[in-house]
């Protein structure tokens, strides 16, 4: 395993079918950035990182001996799962409250974050996928167990843009394994919300899939083990 400022890289077997990515793996703000006092409430929330996603990515990459790239910076610093022109590349609001870290950013500050984190992250993924002989770029994310006060019954979402057939095959496989799964839920990869895996899959002619796992479940040992085994059996 190798770590640099923007990314954590897991080498794995480049003959594996998959390259895993985890765009929202960390809540860290590398120096010299610090959390404004008004933003401290965000640090342990899903706004700063995808809770449970990094640990699960490492787990399933180890199980399948597959390469992986994980971010080492908070999505609130800059979101690597958004295109450069996205309005939420630097999120300004969360839960209806101002994100002070991102208020009134000058173009020089935007470029500084892009150059230091966004570009190296995507360069690392591109290099990893280019080295791989696999057929799929597979991104791991998590979602909250409630939304706007309503509990979510969904356990796993399979997000995709162009790769409908393998996505629905995975949905059926996970359903047969006993999971509550839906395609392009709780949001859709066809709306650009699987930007990173789609970008790098298209670059090398691969399939792009993203899973969204419910956060309260993915941190549970038995659930995580079952899901990792189910994914490993699908791609074996």
pLDDT digits (tens, 9 = 90+) for 19-52: 999 999 999 999 999 999 999 999 999 999 999 9
> Quick check: pTM over 0.85?
yes
Sorted by sequence, the CB contacts under 8 Å of residue 146 that are 6+ apart come out as 152
Beta strands in 11-67 (DSSP E): 18-22
pLDDT digits (tens, 9 = 90+) for 94-111: 999 999 999 999 999 999
What's the whole-number average pLDDT of the chain?
96
pLDDT level of residue 3 (50, 70, 90 thresholds):
very low
pLDDT reading at 4 higher than 90: no
The region of weakest confidence among 67-81, 136-150, 218-232 is 136-150
Asked if the bond preceding 234 is cis, omega within 30° of 0, the reply is no
Could you please state the CATH topology (level 3) that the domain comprising 2-234 is classified under: Aminopeptidase (3.40.630)
Q: Which of 131, 153, 125, 126 is CA-nearest to residue 68?
A: 125
Q: What is the residue extent of each domain of the chain?
A: 2-234
Helices (H), 47-179: 53-64, 107-113, 119-131, 164-176
pLDDT reading at 9 higher than 80: yes
pLDDT level of residue 151 (50, 70, 90 thresholds):
confident
pLDDT reading at 2 higher than 70: no
pLDDT digits (tens, 9 = 90+) for 162-206: 999 999 999 999 999 999 999 999 999 999 999 999 999 999 999
Sorted by sequence, the CB contacts under 8 Å of residue 73 that are 6+ apart come out as 6, 26, 28, 29, 30, 117
């Amino acid at each position: 395993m190798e770590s640099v400022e923007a990314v954590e890289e897991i080498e794995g077997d480049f003959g594996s079918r998959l390259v895993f990515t985890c765009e929202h793996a960390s809540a860290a703000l590398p120096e010299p950035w610090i959390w404004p006092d008004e933003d401290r409430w965000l640090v342990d929330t899903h706004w700063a990182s995808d809770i449970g996603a990094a640990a699960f990515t490492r787990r399933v990459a180890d199980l399948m001996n597959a390469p992986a790239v994980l971010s080492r910076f908070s999505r609130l610093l800059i979101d690597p799962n958004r295109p450069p022109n996205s309005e939420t590349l630097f999120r300004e609001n969360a839960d209806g409250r101002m994100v002070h870290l991102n208020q009134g950013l000058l173009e020089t500050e935007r470029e500084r974050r892009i150059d230091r984190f966004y570009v190296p992250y995507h360069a690392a993924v591109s290099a990893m996928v280019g080295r791989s002989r696999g057929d799929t770029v597979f991104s791991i994310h998590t979602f909250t167990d409630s939304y706007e006060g309503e509990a979510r019954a969904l356990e796993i979402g399979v997000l995709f843009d162009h790769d409908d057939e393998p996505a629905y095959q995975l949905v059926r496989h996970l359903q047969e394994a006993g999971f509550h799964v839906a395609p392009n839920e709780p949001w859709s990869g066809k709306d650009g919300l699987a930007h990173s895996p789609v970008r790098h899959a298209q670059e090398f002619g691969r399939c792009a899939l993203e899973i969204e796992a419910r956060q309260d479940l993915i941190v549970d040992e038995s659930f995580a083990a079952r899901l990792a085994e189910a994914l490993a059996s699908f791609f074996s």
